[in-house]
Amino acid sequence: MPTSTFTSASSAVPCPVVESLDAILPEEPLLMMGAGPVPIPAAVAKANAIVINHLGGTMVKVIGQVKSMARYVFQTNSKWVLGVAGPGSAAMEMAISNLAWEGTRVLSIKNGFFSERMAEMGRRVGARVSTLDVADRSVASLEEIAEAIRRERPEIVTVVQGETSNTVWNYHLKEIAGLAKAAGALVIVDAVCTLSTMPLEMDAWGIDAVITGGQKGLSSIPGVSLIAFSDAAWERVKGRTAPNAHWCLDASLAENFWHNAGYHYTAPVSGVLALHEALRLVCAETLEKRFARHLKCSLALQDGVAAMGLRLYTPEACRLNSVVGIEVPDGFGPADVCSHISRMHQVEISGSFGLPIVRVGQMGEQCREHNLFRTVHALGRTMVDLGVKVDLPAGVAALERGLSGAR
Ligand SMILES: *Cc1c(COP(=O)(O)O)cnc(C)c1O
């Protein structure tokens, strides 16, 4: 009798028949050249396979090193560096939900999809959010930003360093932070795709909160992110009267784990170890050399794409180097290109939220010469296969000239 009871209970929802990962995953891993996640170094993959006690002495040491390496990458001496279990958007929500609440005046410089996300998070905590809407493929002038700050008198200004969606680079970031500071506002910067790919100096530029994800510039795994608050921002966090409605993202509770070796929630230990290794590799390379590698690779990629006859989406003055936007030829959609290049050439690239472009990332491990040759070749071949007229040899030659410094 017990047996039959057991059988009927377990057959109410029958056990599914599924395939093993070996059967699902491609035989050769796809080369991840889209807008993230990006390929991870072997040291990161190895660390990601380890589970340790999240409150033990080893973890305390790891956390201490993660914070000090993160301070170097953020270029800050602020004590208030914390990790977040969650995507870049969770770090974003940690910044917004701890610094803004009912009635807070927030000015959001909106360049596209991701900068709009910060505005939306502000609205959701009850802040009075105004947006400075910037036309696609351009940045706001400093005059427009100064005028918006005068008009809105924000307590907080949010801005993205690299707007991954339309591949625009806010190259005025330092000056924008200066304008906001002078008006007494705190500045939150989304550096999810740009951190460690191009200069960002949190302290010297007067930034109050910087957020990043793991899976882009840092070349770690997705799901563990980093945030840094300035002293002024931390004071605001500590001075708020109503508690943050997001319990997991409450910076005061997270302080317990990230600064006092105590418990908040079970930390994603494997992901933190992976992040440790990713940061260690950034430190071993140094920021200067890493920025130079990214710049050289991205410019060579752009040369290669343009030389084969495709058009880059963003004008050079505000073109993001961390993710390159490429116009899709007439008669095709981004999905046609992305699915062909993936299926036929095992290279993954991205579309972009309704824009007529495909995007190729230049973040972390994506900026390697062998990956670039394979990607430019695969993209050119895809165009040929689709019947688009391109000069692939000219593209490969331009890439080589860019990489060998003969640009
Ligand atoms: C990818 C990205 C995000 C979102 O990161 P998730 O990890 O997907 O949440 C936010 N901002 C920018 C600029 C990004 O590139």
- Ligand 1 probe mutation, 193, 197, 225, 363, most atoms within 8 A of CB: 193
The Å distance, Cα 114 to ligand 1 centre, comes to: 7
Q: Is residue 405 over pLDDT 70?
A: yes
Using the mean position of ligand 1's atoms as its centre, give its distance from the Cα of residue 320 in Å.
15
User: What are the pLDDT digits (tens) for 252-274?
Assistant: 999 999 999 999 999 999 999 99
Ligand 1 atom closest to Cα of residue 114 = 11
Res 11: pLDDT? 74
- Asked whether residue 83 carries a pLDDT value surpassing 70, the answer given is yes
Pocket probe for ligand 1: among 92, 163, 164, the residue whose CB has the most ligand atoms within 8 Å is 164
Q: Which atom belonging to ligand 1 lies closest to the Cα atom of 225?
A: 7
Q: Whose CA is nearest to atom 12 of ligand 1?
A: 192
Ligand 1 atom with least separation from CA of 193: 15
Give the model confidence (pLDDT) of 363-401 as tens digits. 999 999 999 999 999 999 999 999 999 999 999 999 999
CB 217 within 8 A of CB 322: yes
Protein residue with least CA distance to atom 2, ligand 1: 192
Question: In angstroms, what is the span from residue 199 Cα to ligand 1's centroid?
Answer: 18
Residue ranges around ligand 1 (CB below 6 Å): 36, 87-89, 114, 160, 162, 164, 190, 192-193, 213, 216
Backbone torsion region of residue 107, taken as left when φ is above 0, otherwise alpha when ψ lies between -120 and 50, otherwise beta? beta
Confidence of residue 9 (pLDDT cuts 50, 70, 90): low
For the CA of 164, the closest atom of ligand 1 is 15
Q: What is the pTM of this model?
A: 0.96
Angstrom distance (rounded) from CA 357 to CA 372: 19
Pocket mutation for ligand 1, best pick of 192, 220, 324 (most atoms within 8 Å of C-beta): 192
- Nearest-atom index, ligand 1, CA of 214: 7
Q: How confident is the model at residue 85 (pLDDT cuts 50, 70, 90)?
A: very high
Q: Per-residue pLDDT averaged across 99-109, rounded?
A: 98
Query: What residue ranges define each of the domains in the chain, with the CATH number in brackets?
Result: 42-285 (3.40.640.10), 286-403 (3.90.1150.10)
The tens digit of pLDDT for each residue in 210-234 reads: 999 999 999 999 999 999 999 999 9
Nearest atom of ligand 1 to the alpha carbon of 215: 7
Q: Is the pLDDT of residue 407 over 90?
A: no
Per residue in 239-250, pLDDT tens? Answer: 999 999 999 999
Nearest CA to ligand 1 atom 6: 88
pLDDT for 1: 47
Report pLDDT for 54. Answer: 96
